[in-house]
Amino acid sequence: MLLNIVRHLRATSEKPTSTDYEVIDALVPDRVSELLKGWTSPIIPQIQQAAFDPLLRQMRAGNPRQDFVALATAMNMIGLANPLLIEVGCGSGWNREVLACLWKRPFRYVGLDYSPGMTDLGKQRYPDTKFAVGDATCLPFQDGACDILLSGTVLMHLLGYQQAIWESCRLTRQWCIFHTVPVLQHRKTTILSKKAYSQPTIEVIFNERELYRLFEQNRLVVRKVIDSMPYNLESVLGEPTFNKTYLCQKIA
């Protein structure tokens, strides 16, 4: 497997992370279940980490990427002391490091990912951090388990995004951050297939009004919207798309 990873890194060092976008018009069950498993490929964790290591170094050197800043900006709006934060779709947990570097306040962190390869790598890199394996649509935690539910650049990879928003709201006592969500204004919410780190997966581009409706249906009020990494799929979808980070507060 190591050889595969090295080969992949050489072959893709010049390629973008995401390629081969196509709109999915009909959800064919076998094809969809293959796409939904894409991120569990055992080769992704090392490849993804290799892509993020230079970004983390740049951040430590004082030049953080825009999505890292967006996350810290959302956290700045939350006035909780030492909150418990659960990150869903945590990968190997680098957002813990991002928050320690850019937010700089005490917090407790648990990372969850559906790929055991991601959480194993996370345990190696951050041995004092708790990680769990589980699916965003069926979270293995009790109601009100955390102060802040961070949906970490994962909502767009879930066909069950409605259920994932419901689960996020169930888990949090007060705040949800839906980080780096791709949105558009005119088309309805649209499902694409693409390759991420050369593995087939799905990507949901949300109609922003539909997304707000889902938040409202789950008693989530948007308190702040922050621009995240630029992400324009106009050539695929015929209109500009944007990545945004939504800070939502749960109301009674």
Ligand X SMILES: C[S@@+](CC[C@H](N)C(=O)[O-])C[C@H]1O[C@@H](n2cnc3c(N)ncnc32)[C@H](O)[C@@H]1O
Query: Which residues of this chain interact with ligand X, rule CB under 6 A?
Result: 39, 88-91, 95, 113-115, 118, 135-136, 152-154, 157-158, 179
* Nearest residue (CB) to ligand X, 64 versus 89: 89
CB of 93 to ligand X, least distance (A): 8
Are 231 and 205 a contacting pair, CB within 8 Å? Answer: no
Q: Which is nearer to ligand X, 46 or 153 (CB)?
A: 153
Identity of the residue, 118 or 184, whose beta carbon is nearer to ligand X in the bound complex: 118
Residue 23: which H helix or E strand, with range?
A: strand 18-23
The interaxial angle of helices 116-125 and 44-60, nearest 10 deg, is: 40
Least gap, CB of 251 to ligand X (angstroms): 26
Measured from the CB atom, the residue of 58 and 185 that comes closer to ligand X is 58
Q: How far is the CB of 179 from ligand X (least distance, A)?
A: 6
Q: How far apart are the C-alpha atoms of 108 and 102, rounded to whole Å? A: 15
Q: Which residue lies nearer to ligand X by CB, 114 or 215? A: 114
Q: Give the nearest distance from C-beta 98 to ligand X in angstroms.
A: 8
Q: Which residue is nearest to ligand X (CB)?
A: 152
Tokens of 12: 């893709």
DSSP string, 175-224: EEEEEEEEEESSSPPEEEEEEETTEEEEEEEEEHHHHHHHHHHTTEEEEE
177 close to 122: Cβ distance less than 8 angstroms: no
Find the shortest distance in angstroms from Cβ 16 to ligand X: 14
H helices of the chain, in order, are 2-12, 29-37, 44-60, 66-76, 94-102, 116-125, 161-171, 208-217, 234-237
Angle CA(22)–CA(26)–CA(28) in degrees, nearest 5? 100
Give me the least distance between CB of 252 and ligand X, in Å please: 28
Q: Which CB sits closer to ligand X, 95 or 209?
A: 95
Q: Which C-beta is closer to ligand X: that of 116 or that of 144? A: 116
CB of 130 to ligand X, least distance (A): 15
What gap in Å lies between CA 146 and CA 245, rounded to an integer?
19
Residue 191 near residue 202, CB atoms below 8 Å: yes
Closest alpha carbon to 194 in 47, 18, 57, 76: 18
